[in-house]
Amino acid sequence: MLTARIGNTPLVRLRRVTEGLAPRVQVWAKLESFNPGGSVKDRAAFAIIRDAETSGRLRPGMRLLDSSSGNTGIAYGMIAAARGLHLTLCLPANANVERKKILRAYGVEIVETDPLEGSDGAIRQARAMAAATPERYLYLDQYSNPCNWMAHLHSTAPEIWRDTQGAVTHWVAGLGTTGTFVGTTRGLKGYNPDIHCVAVQPDAPFHGLEGLKFLETSIIPPIWDPSVADAHMAAPTEASITMMRRLAREEGLLAGVSSGAAVWAALKLAAGLEQGVVVTLLPDSGERYLSESHLWP
């Protein structure tokens, strides 16, 4: 079964971009592009759809509905196609060409929203559609759905603990829906409360870090729990893009720009340590951004 392939993604040690760190400091990256839908969002999307089915909320004839900047929508599309379900997705009109083509390949109905409103505009549109025709749509609401963070509590965190043999000392991840960080942090803290967990978001409201939110000026995801974070870091767009390119050219890891932000933060944190095992997560592959010439000159 396709969904059985979700999770258990590789954890690899970064070796070249980490030059200059203290000898007893390691930085590891979890490669979520190895999920069948190509991103970390496979985990939450599957948990959310499975809950919709088993709870009875998804009745015959209803369409799944949600908003997404891309990766969750693609994960939804893959899973919906495999299960014979229909999906409508509200997506900012400026989402890149790769994402739109993948969504259409899965048969997803796309409702494009104002690009100037970003992911928040897509959220508002999905909410309006669900409210207007509740008999037609089941609004999955990834930003509010507890299955989002619970997917990481039950999969991402145990995998990191297992693959580091319990040696992980620091966990660093970006904030979008916040589900990956919240769920994984809660899971890792359950194993060892002393693991230092750092949340990463852009350093400004207008940024180029696709998939990440500047929470101060965004609709706050109801699943976000600021109390779980031990620290916060603000990633600059240009530095994150530079790190994304370095990952490809120095580590052989073709990843997206949010991955660049996560590794930038992980290395900045690691530079202040004398010893430790820092784990971060690369949410997707750089293949979904190759049409964006400013990222790959």
140-153 in b/e form (b: 16+ CB < 10 A) is bbbbebbbbbbbbb
Q: Which of 69, 240, 258, 285 is catalytic?
A: 258
- Catalytic position from the list 41, 69, 155, 259: 41
Token pair 């979520």 is found at 32
Delimit the domains of the chain by residue range: 2-34+146-289, 41-139
Domain 2-34+146-289, CATH: 3.40.50.1100
Residue stretches of the chain with pLDDT short of 50: none
The pLDDT, as a whole number, for residue 33 is: 98
Q: Which pairing describes strands 11-13 and 24-31: parallel, antiparallel, or unpaired?
A: antiparallel
The two domains 2-34+146-289 and 41-139 share their CATH topology (first three levels equal): yes
Q: Is 41 a catalytic residue?
A: yes
Predicted pLDDT at 295? 85
Model confidence, pTM? 0.95
pLDDT at 293: 72
* Res 81: pLDDT: 97
**CA-CA distance, 155 to 152, in Å (whole number)?**
5
Q: What is the pLDDT of residue 66?
A: 98
pLDDT for 294: 83
CATH node for 41-139: 3.40.50.1100
Residue 155 annotated in active site:
no
Q: What is residue 296's predicted lDDT score, i.e. its pLDDT?
A: 82
Q: In the block, which residue shows the tokens 């229909």?
A: 86
Instruction: Provide the pLDDT for residue 37.
Output: 97
* pLDDT at residue 200, rounded to an integer: 98
Extract the tokens encoding 195.
Answer: 């693991």
